[in-house]
Amino acid sequence: MKKSKMLAFALVAVMALSPSISFGGTAVAPAAIPHSAKPIVPYVIFGCAGALIFAAIIANIQRNRQLTPAEAATCGLLFWFTPPR
C-alpha cells in the first residue's frame, strides 16, 4: 500500500513539473483529396471477425464443439455450408 502511494505521488510530481510547452506552429488543415473509393477493408475485416465469432457461438450452443481450422479459415462460412455428421 505504501509503495502504491509513493508511486502515485512520484507520478503526480513528474506530471506537475514536466514542461507543457508546445513547439508546434499553428495547425494548417490539409487540402481535401477527392476520391471515390469507399473504405471497404475495415468492413471486410470486421465482417470476417464477426462472422467467425457468430459461427463459433452457434457451433458451441448447437453442437457443443469448437470450429475446425478449415471452418475458422473461411471466416465461419464453411460451418454453415457443411451438414453435420
Neighbours of 79 (CB within 10 A): 22
d(CA 80, CA 63): 13
Q: Which of 68, 71, 75, 77 is nearest to 48 (CA)?
A: 75
Angle at the Cα of 67 (from 65 to 71), degrees rounded to 5? 150
pTM score over 0.75 = no
49-53 mean pLDDT: 94
Q: Which of 7-21, 32-46, 48-62 has the highest mean pLDDT?
A: 48-62
